[in-house]
Amino acid sequence: MRSHGGFWLKALSQPTIDLTLRTQAGQRTRIVESPGLSLPKDELDALVEQLRVVAAKTLPEESLSYGIFSGEPERLSRAIITLISEEDTGRPIAFNALSVMDVPLDGEPTEVTHLGLVMVDPDVRGQGLSWVLYGLTALVLFARDGLRPKWISNVTQVPAVVGMVSDTFSDVFPSPLPGARQSFAHLQLARGIMARHRAVFGVGEEAGFDEARSVITNAYTGGSDALKKTFEIAPKHRDAVYNEFCEHELDYGRGDDVLQIGRVDLAGARRYLMSEVPPGSLPALLAASAMLALQRLVLPVVYWMDDTRAFGTLRPRRQESGAAR
């Protein structure tokens, strides 16, 4: 109890996250924000080497040359790494590398968290790691930033991932779910991501983009070639609607991806906690209780009183310059 309470206290108070939590029996998860800035070089090199160990098990005959594996310090400075290791041996078994992108929206810079590259050691697949790799870090960032809605993006051709993103986050497009639609905000963000941040997810300049469907065509030419899959081998979702959606919308021979845009908000966080996280997870129960209490009692007051940060159509109070007349 005390260790989990300490985890959430640190998550809410640290300007740059570096947290470790026992997420399930025999496994520990470390979340590191901006390791390229926050870690000494020897620790950074050790972290990258752990990621390469997992990558080598996942793609033993291939190599990646984009994102955190590109060797560019900027990539690690903008990354948020979630690394799962065996508790007894310290052996790394899975990771997710999120990236934070600045994208213009309505004329203002907006942070978009890209869900990034996920790799899992084949020896431990099927052990229920997806709730940690895809949702826990987004939840921590959401809580740390005052429960304000955050934009997320995801690039994939894997039906299981398309479904996970559609089920977990809010206002996701594209998605086969009823009511999914492309707002002007979705379109602006997608255009900005494709114009400025292709290197984040390994898409070359020659790749096309179908704006109406939010589909990247010929996507595997910018360092992510090793990740290209056929529809037959791409992991499927338990709900066939996502499998059918991907098969219909994507040309797997050409190498297409969907670019999904959505938001993590209070409704999505609660949905994630209730449906994705194992019921016995104490951190999830603590977080769920806090979410419900904040939603009903505290959150409106917090938003009303904080005039230093934007929220929706509300803008922070401008600081006056110069003396009053």
Q: Please, are residues 67 and 106 in contact by the beta-carbon 8 Å criterion?
A: no
The per-residue pLDDT for 303 is: 62
**Which residue in this structure is represented by tokens 């977080």?**
287
- Torsion angle (degrees, nearest 10) of CA 161, 163, 165, 171: 150
Q: Structural domain boundaries of the chain?
A: 2-302
Q: What is the DSSP string of 34-72?
A: SHHHHS-HHHHHHHHHHHHHHHHHHSTT----SGGGS--
Joined tokens for residue 5: 């309470």
End-to-end CA distance of the chain: 57
The per-residue pLDDT for 93 is: 94
Predicted confidence (pLDDT) at residue 225 exceeds the cutoff of 90: no
Predicted confidence (pLDDT) at residue 170 exceeds the cutoff of 70: yes
- Cα gap 99→156, rounded to integer Å: 15
Q: State the pTM of this model.
A: 0.80
The per-residue pLDDT for 323 is: 37
> CB neighbours (10 Å) of residue 257?
28
> CB neighbours (10 Å) of residue 7?
20
Amino acid present at 92: P
Task: State the pLDDT confidence band at 184, using cuts at 50, 70 and 90.
Answer: very high
Predicted confidence (pLDDT) at residue 3 exceeds the cutoff of 70: no
- Cα gap 166→184, rounded to integer Å: 19
Q: Estimate the share of the chain in helix, then strand, then coil, as percent rounded to the nearest 5.
A: 40, 25, 35
